[in-house]
Chain A
Amino acid sequence: MNWRFIVPLFLTLLLCAFLMIPVGLSVTAGLTVNFFQGVESGLTLRWVAEVWRLYEGTIYLSLLIAVSCLGVTLVLGVPMAYVLAKRRSRLTRLLEELLVMPVAVPGLAIALALLITFGGFREFRMSWAFILVGHVLFTLPFMVRAVLAVLSSIDLKGLEEGARSLGAGFFRRFFQVVLPNCKSGIVAGSLMVVTLSVGEFNLTWMLHTPLTKTLPVGLADSYASMRLEIGSAYTLVFFLMLVPLLVALQWLGGPTSPRRRSSIDPNRRRRP
């Protein structure tokens, strides 16, 4: 044990504290009768119930949008990734570049552009589909990237030629050979899309209407206008919603875990 170990260790623990203490405080506050007086005032689920009464709709809408967003990005993104993997030309590179632009351009700008262009279509503007459009734009690059990463790590050309030599036509190849072999990318991309969609605020705040409030919009609303305990309880509900997604992501493995690499490379899959 020397300072070369102690100093960074201390820093590491400090960062952990910095990140985790507010989470702990917020969870506590959400379950405390009166946070100002402290935990001594007693624990309660009253605030959670209150949140449910006030904001139940936002949770359902967020889930609805996330699932729809997943559906749309699957239908649009997976075939697109396949096309990008199969044809490496200047045109497809440009396409790829354009497709990932919504990640680089601030959500505010995209939202503004959408409002200016489609704000006049009242039906559309007032419906949750308007928010869905923003979410799809923002999450599509992640789906395309995740699937493309897997497609470029497998011997796509060889597999397809193998299938062709056995008589398989285009769509048979796509559904029976290509899709099953990029499953890991599709799963990773899907988790990413759902997580991002559930938490999206920058675009959504601009696109929402009083009747189309999502969970993060509701959160911002409660932070601004409700007592601290309610904001905290609402945050707690949000954390609970994230748990299954985070567990699934963890199970797939973070970018640094060896399991992640093997899930990407079908030639190195786990043995049962």
Chain B
Amino acid sequence: MTGPGLDIRLVACAKTFTDGTRALEPLDLDIAAGETVVFLGPSGCGKTTTLRIIAGLERPDPGGRVVFAGRDVTPLPVEKRDIGMVFQSYALFPNMDVAGNVGYGLKVRRIPAVDRRRRVAEMLEMMHITELAARSVDQLSGGQKQRVALARALAVRPRVLLLDEPLTALDAKLREELRIEIDRLLRNLGITAVYVTHDQAEAMALGDRIVVMERGRVAQVGTPREVYLSPANPFVARFIGTLNVVSGEAADGHLHLPGGRLALNGAGSIPASGRLSVAFRPEAVAVIPLINPGDQPHPDGGLIGTVTAAFFLGDHIRLVIDGAGESAIVALAPNHHRFTPGDRVHLAVDGGAMPFAEG
């Protein structure tokens, strides 16, 4: 059972609950052995449902299949699938101490006590919780509980690890710390992992690939880079990171806006004229402070606007600018600049960074 994970294939997995809720539209997905796939999406979009179908805690609607390493496991219940699972609520057994929890899966598999103890000690050490072995699980902090839950899930050497928002209940600092640890674990173990979250930073950091979901459908599957830089549609773009969307009249290769005009050279196939929306990320905007009241936008494309808010965030400054487009534009500036509300600025947008444009 040891060794690299196995590959998972979901075929036409849909889910309709008994009360008629359609939680998942038919979904096809291939997950490679050893890959970490993150399901990302807003609340209620069907992430947990998908994970539970992979786990065997829910059955897909008739016609759907779950295949582990070429073997159809659809009819197998969770206890026969040899997976590891980590829950948002930890689901630790209050009637057992930490070691008892970690060793439970081994006990179920009738591993001899000696081997069991050795394996438990190994897991506790891996999660840096050796000193907690004899503690009752009620006496653990949230972070410690989640470490125990991870150790418990991994103790049986599953070939698939399923994690449902394991860090959501923790505070920001702990979340970051454990995320790094989980990342290291998943890489070292080479296990196939499916990770559910609604936190895009977590998804970016952990996922080999991200599956963005929207109302029971897959909106996009891709590497973090693809999903961020080439979102398939406005929903994905907006869900991952901040997105500026400006609308205006397109004419002679430019989009005309209240504060000037933008060159449309990089924005793919777009209509030459008419009403048009263009989207770009804050970091695609170059901000230059203007000194003279009479300054004009750059002739090759540029916008002039007024700073309404400036947030110093340490490594950069986040600006909210009015007057350039019909609505506010968010832009990032290097931290050595100083901005105060009322400052006039010049904005240049990298045409290649406009992910999509709509008529």
Q: Do chains A and B make direct contact within the complex (CB under 8 angstroms)?
A: yes
Binding site for B on A (CB under 8 A): 154-155, 158-159, 161-169, 172, 176-177, 180-181, 183, 266-269, 271
Knowing A169-B79, A177-B93, the reply to whether A162 touches B139 (Cβ < 8 A) is: no
Residues facing A in B145-162 (CB within 8 A) are 152-153, 156, 162
Name which of B103-111, B178-186, B290-298 contacts chain A: B103-111
A161's contact among B78, B84, B96, B108, by CB below 8 Å, is which? B78
Task: List the A side residues contacting B85 at CB < 8 Å.
Answer: 161-162, 165
Asked whether, in the complex, the Cβ of A267 is within 8 Å of the Cβ of B138, the reply is yes
Task: List the A side residues contacting B78 at CB < 8 Å.
Answer: 161, 164-165
Interface size on B, residues (CB 8 A): 29
Is B91 an interface residue when CB atoms closer than 8 A count as contact? Answer: yes
A162's contact among B82, B93, B136, by CB below 8 Å, is which? B93
Asked whether, in the complex, the Cβ of B87 is within 8 Å of the Cβ of A166, the reply is no
Is B77 an interface residue when CB atoms closer than 8 A count as contact? Answer: yes
Chain B residue at smallest Cβ distance from A172: B108
Task: List the B side residues contacting A163 at CB < 8 Å.
Answer: 93, 104
Asked whether, in the complex, the Cβ of A266 is within 8 Å of the Cβ of B87, the reply is no
Tell me, in angstroms, the Cα distance from A183 to B95 when the chains sit together.
9
Knowing A162-B85, A163-B93, A164-B78, the reply to whether A271 touches B105 (Cβ < 8 A) is: no
A165's contact among B55, B94, B96, by CB below 8 Å, is which? B55
Whole-angstrom distance between the Cβ of A269 and the nearest chain B Cβ: 5
Whole-angstrom distance between the Cβ of B150 and the nearest chain A Cβ: 13
Chain B residue at smallest Cβ distance from A173: B79
Asked whether, in the complex, the Cβ of A155 is within 8 Å of the Cβ of B109, the reply is no
Interface of A, secondary structure class, is helix
Is B210 an interface residue when CB atoms closer than 8 A count as contact? Answer: no
Whole-angstrom distance between the Cβ of B61 and the nearest chain A Cβ: 21
Asked whether, in the complex, the Cβ of A266 is within 8 Å of the Cβ of B79, the reply is no
Asked whether, in the complex, the Cβ of A166 is within 8 Å of the Cβ of B94, the reply is no
Whole-angstrom distance between the Cβ of B52 and the nearest chain A Cβ: 9
Is B69 an interface residue when CB atoms closer than 8 A count as contact? Answer: no
21 A-B residue pairs with CB within 8 Å: A158-B89, A159-B91, A161-B78, A161-B91, A162-B87, A164-B78, A164-B79, A165-B55, A165-B79, A166-B104, A166-B105, A166-B152, A167-B79, A167-B108, A167-B109, A168-B79, A172-B108, A180-B95, A266-B94, A267-B138, A269-B136
Task: List the B side residues contacting A181 at CB < 8 Å.
Answer: 93-95
Task: List the A side residues contacting B138 at CB < 8 Å.
Answer: 266-269, 271
Is B246 an interface residue when CB atoms closer than 8 A count as contact? Answer: no
Asked whether, in the complex, the Cβ of B108 is within 8 Å of the Cβ of A165, the reply is no
Chain A residue at smallest Cβ distance from B57: A161
Residues facing A in B58-83 (CB within 8 A) are 77-80, 82-83
Knowing A268-B138, A269-B136, the reply to whether A161 touches B87 (Cβ < 8 A) is: yes
Tell me, in angstroms, the Cα distance from A169 to B110 when the chains sit together.
13
Asked whether, in the complex, the Cβ of B84 is within 8 Å of the Cβ of A165, the reply is yes
Tell me, in angstroms, the Cα distance from A191 to B77 when the chains sit together.
38
Is B92 an interface residue when CB atoms closer than 8 A count as contact? Answer: yes
Whole-angstrom distance between the Cβ of A28 and the nearest chain B Cβ: 48
Whole-angstrom distance between the Cβ of A145 and the nearest chain B Cβ: 21
Chain B residue at smallest Cβ distance from A177: B93
Asked whether, in the complex, the Cβ of A166 is within 8 Å of the Cβ of B95, the reply is no
Asked whether, in the complex, the Cβ of B82 is within 8 Å of the Cβ of A158, the reply is no
